[in-house]
């Protein structure tokens, strides 16, 4: 057990960073000199949910068929299932060599909702496959990261059904990292935030209303140099806030060991009782005289 001996609150705005971007930046902590701080804790965070479901650099997949390859490039941005199906069918129709592909999704009014896409290929003269990179796009389409998925040839067409339920939530959980603190040497995560309940283009907010030590990390940085902060998903892939700043409030503090305080208190009480006993004995002796 411990108590806080001394502390300092620091407010950080990524807009006033030394270098980097709003989601991965360095910042000089204006800590008071001659401090003996041992821990830091996140007091509050406000992170804009301005990152995209499909960001730049994670927006392509490949179609292989009959010795030829075609790249489908999806415009970066946020989508729901309706807009995504529309855009993808339009890309199939207007990308050279892929106009015999189409995609559909169960109609919730007339079909069981499986949460999976069905891709159809009308040319059955050769095999076809979708190849995905190791990013979030295949999860949106219901496939595993970095997977290759073969169409099944039928009588009049071949088809491919998503192997997993489509995931239209970019990240249900995001992580705030910093080289300022450590979880016992295991990682550099300052805070885990749950984002699934926040709509796109809103803010993900956190406020520490409990015990300060629940979100404390042991300091690893001497606070004299630039401190790095960054956001990532569970795969440690960086998250792009697209130019919108985040706010972080940290508490730096020095722990006061309660065991030492208790030891001192016990010594004080023991001495006090001894003195009281001595006075009692002296008073009794006086009365006898």
Alpha helical stretches, state H, the chain? 81-94, 137-141, 258-288
**257 membership: H or E segment, kind and range:** strand 247-257
**pTM for this structure?**
0.78
Strands (E), 49-121: 60-65, 68-73, 101-104, 118-121
Q: Note whether 85 and 104 are within 8 A (CB).
A: yes
**Residue of 132, 190, 200 whose CA lies nearest to 164:** 132
The pLDDT profile of the chain, 289 residues, written as one tens digit per residue, is 456 677 899 999 999 999 999 999 999 988 887 788 888 899 999 999 999 999 999 999 999 998 899 999 999 999 999 999 999 999 999 998 899 999 999 988 888 899 999 999 987 777 899 999 999 999 999 999 999 999 998 878 899 999 999 999 888 899 999 998 877 667 889 999 998 888 888 999 999 887 777 778 888 866 667 899 999 998 899 999 999 999 999 999 887 655 554 555 566 666 767 777 777 776 777 666 6
Residue 31 sits at φ, ψ, to 5 deg, of -80, 145
- Alpha-carbon torsion (150, 146, 77, 81), positive or negative: positive
Q: Which domains does the chain have, with CATH numbers?
A: 2-51+171-258 (2.60.120.1100), 60-161 (no CATH)
DSSP 151: P
């Amino acid at each position: 057990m411990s108590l806080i001996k001394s502390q300092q609150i620091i407010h950080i705005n990524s807009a006033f960073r030394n270098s980097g971007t709003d989601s991965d930046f360095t910042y000089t902590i204006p800590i008071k000199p001659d401090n003996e701080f041992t821990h830091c804790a996140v007091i509050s965070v406000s992170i804009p949910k301005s990152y995209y479901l499909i960001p730049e650099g994670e927006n392509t997949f490949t179609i292989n068929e009959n010795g030829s390859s075609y790249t489908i490039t999806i415009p970066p941005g946020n989508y729901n299932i309706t807009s995504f199906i529309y855009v993808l069918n339009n890309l199939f129709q207007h990308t050279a060599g892929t106009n015999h592909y189409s995609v559909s999704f169960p109609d919730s009014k007339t079909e069981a909702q499986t949460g999976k896409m069905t891709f159809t290929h009308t040319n059955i003269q050769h095999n076809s496959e979708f190849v995905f990179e190791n990013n979030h796009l295949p999860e949106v389409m219901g496939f595993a990261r970095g997977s290759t998925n073969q169409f099944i040839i039928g009588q009049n067409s071949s088809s491919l059904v998503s192997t997993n339920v489509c995931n239209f939530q970019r990240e249900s959980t995001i992580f705030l990292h910093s080289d300022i603190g450590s979880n016992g040497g295991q990682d550099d995560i300052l805070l885990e935030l749950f984002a699934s309940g926040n709509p796109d283009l809103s803010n993900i907010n956190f406020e520490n209303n409990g015990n300060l030590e629940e979100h404390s990390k042991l300091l690893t940085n001497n606070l004299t140099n630039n401190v790095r902060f960054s956001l990532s998903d569970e795969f440690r892939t960086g998250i792009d806030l697209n130019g919108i700043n985040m706010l972080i409030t940290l508490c730096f503090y020095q722990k006061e060991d309660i065991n030492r305080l208790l030891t001192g208190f016990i010594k004080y009480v023991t001495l006090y009782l001894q003195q009281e006993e001595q006075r009692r004995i002296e008073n009794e002796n006086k009365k006898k005289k």
